[in-house]
């Protein structure tokens, strides 16, 4: 049976690339994002074989979801389960970055920006995982994306760095308490709307890392741990 995958923050960047990779693998992919029009465009493109017009093997479905609102997430996961049955994989990808990388000192971060960043990037992960739990399939996996910024001090990364460290802690907590496998995946520096890095990897180049983490990586290596490019390349070369 083809897997059912649910992704938050799936209309651009890594989330969009991972959604397309799973559709190509034959999965039923439920995508979500704050912008309902962007969700509709993403679903249409995925079901038509992507923007390049290639063939598609799976099916995409979507809904507008703001991860700051647990009731949005509750409705989303209930609908995914009704549409496609128990959920095999959850990718808690939605995130925000107020300001620019390297240009947002934590001591200059406003309370409003700090609160919204934490509510989206940390509490949003907690809410995503909490609302997904009742609908998980046996052997399900949950992946939270992160990066070196979660555990390395770098100037100008502000509340975003704090939120990523918190998101990793949320993942470890769920890993300790759930039967499902929950872990962190670090794709390295990727060019997205959040990072804006010109010399970073394309999201499409790291999407297979996330597919591997969900489908092939040993559960004991992922659960409560961090997997990244090195582990992926070592396992698949």
Residue 149 has pLDDT above 90, yes or no: no
- Cα 202–chain centre separation: 16
CA-CA-CA-CA dihedral for 214, 217, 221, 227, to nearest 10:
-70
In sequence order, the β-bridge partners of residue 186 are: 228
**What strand order describes the sheet that includes 59-64?**
59-64, 28-33, 4-8, 87-92, 136-145, 181-186, 226-228
pLDDT for 84 equals 95
User: pLDDT confidence of 1, banded at 50, 70, 90?
Assistant: low
**Dihedral through CA 68, CA 70, CA 75, CA 76, nearest 10?**
50
- Which domain covers residue 214, as residue numbers? 4-236
Q: How far apart (Å, rounded) are the C-alpha atoms in residues 100 and 158?
A: 9
- State residue 162's pLDDT score: 95
Task: For residue 92, list its beta bridge partners.
Answer: 8
- Which pLDDT score, from 0 to 100, does residue 58 have? 82
Name the pLDDT band for 190 (thresholds 50, 70, 90).
confident
pLDDT of residue 133: 98
Report the C-alpha gap between 40 and 170 in whole angstroms.
30
Among the ranges given (20-29, 65-74, 94-103), the one the predictor scored with the smallest mean pLDDT = 94-103
Q: How far apart are CA 62 and CA 191, in angstroms?
A: 24
Among residues 134, 140, 216, 220, the alpha carbon closest in space to that of 179 is found at 140
In DSSP terms, 210 is beta-bridged to none
Calculate mean pLDDT across residues 19-44: 97
Q: How many Cβ atoms from other residues are within 10 Å of residue 208's Cβ?
A: 16
Q: What is the mean pLDDT of the chain?
A: 92
The CATH number assigned to the domain holding 223 equals: 3.40.50.720
pLDDT tens per residue across span 152-165: 888 888 899 999 99
Tokens 């009742």 locate to 134
Helices and strands counted in the chain (H then E): 9, 7
Split into its structural domains, the chain has a count of 1
User: For 188, left (φ over 0), alpha (ψ -120 to 50), or beta?
Assistant: left
**pLDDT per residue over 94-142, tens digit each?**
999 998 788 889 999 999 999 999 999 999 999 999 999 999 999 999 9
d(C-alpha 30, C-alpha 78), whole Å: 11
pLDDT of 148: 87
């Amino acid at each position: 049976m083809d897997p059912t995958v649910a992704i938050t923050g799936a209309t651009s960047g890594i989330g969009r690339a991972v959604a397309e990779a799973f559709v190509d693998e034959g999965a039923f992919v439920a995508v979500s994002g704050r912008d309902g029009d962007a969700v509709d465009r993403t679903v249409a493109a995925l079901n038509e074989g992507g923007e390049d017009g290639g063939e598609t093997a799976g099916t995409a479905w979507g809904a507008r979801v703001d991860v700051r609102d647990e009731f949005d997430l509750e409705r989303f996961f209930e609908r995914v389960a009704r549409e496609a049955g128990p959920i095999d994989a959850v990718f808690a990808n939605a995130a925000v970055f107020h300001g620019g990388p390297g240009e947002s000192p934590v001591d200059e971060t406003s309370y409003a920006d700090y609160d919204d960043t934490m509510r989206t990037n940390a509490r949003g992960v907690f809410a995503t995982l909490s609302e997904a739990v009742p609908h998980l399939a046996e052997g399900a996996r949950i992946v939270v994306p992160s990066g070196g910024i979660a555990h390395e001090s770098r100037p100008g990364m502000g509340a975003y760095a704090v939120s990523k460290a918190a998101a990793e802690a949320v993942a470890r907590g769920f890993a300790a308490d759930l039967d499902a496998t929950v872990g962190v995946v670090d794709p390295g520096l990727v060019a997205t709307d959040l990072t804006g890095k010109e010399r970073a990897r394309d999201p499409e180049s790291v999407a297979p890392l996330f597919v591997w983490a969900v489908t092939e990586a040993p559960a004991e290596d992922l659960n409560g741990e961090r997997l990244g490019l090195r582990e992926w390349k070592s396992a698949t070369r």
